[in-house]
Copies of this chain bind each other. A is one copy, B any other.
Amino acid sequence: MVVNRLDDVVTGALEVLDAYGLEFCSMRRVAGHLDVQPSALYHHVADKQTLLALMADRIVADVEVSAAGSVRERARSLVRALRAAMLAVRDGAEVVATASAFRLGASQVEADLVDVLADKQGARTLLLFVFGHTQATQMHRMAASVGAIEPDPDLDASFDRGVDIVLRGLL
């Protein structure tokens, strides 16, 4: 494959993520998957951290804030969509949470949540609960899928209840 565009690098990285998980998603392996030398990757992205941020942006690209509804409804639907987008990709919550920790709030979703709540610290608190819960859910599901633990049927409902608790503290 000829890596002509940054988009191709991000696509390749997400394919490696899906196949091997974040733990084994190295620049070297992404280069190998794209059948190029690692130096060709570095032509497009400065480092692993930059690649991770681009992967995170792609994972949440379709998460949109709704224009209608109360603040509570808009915040709730935004974080539900964020959770669904992260759960749809292997280790997606870890990728997005890690990228967020490195940038501290530069992503579009984070900006949208600040906008909806009109409260930067409140948005950050809700977001960190969302990351914490979704990472736990994803780890739990992964372990349950290989039979290591019993599945927990309450994970979706407990997310909603937790979001409502945080929003009650905010609004």
Contact = CB atoms under 8 A, between A and B. Distances in A.
Secondary structure of the A contact surface, majority rule: helix
Given A97-B136, A139-B101, A149-B102, A128 B129 contact: yes
Interface residues of A, number: 39
A124 B155 CA distance: 11
Interface in A122-143: 122, 124-125, 127-133, 135-137, 139-140, 143
B23 A125 contact: no
13 contacts: A47-B148, A97-B135, A100-B136, A101-B136, A101-B143, A102-B149, A121-B158, A125-B133, A125-B165, A128-B132, A129-B132, A131-B132, A169-B170
A139 B101 CA distance: 6
A5 interface: no
A32 interface: no
Copy total for this chain: 2
Interface in A22-39: 23
Nearest to A168: B169
Contacts of A98: 139
A108 interface: no
Interface in A19-57: 23, 47, 49
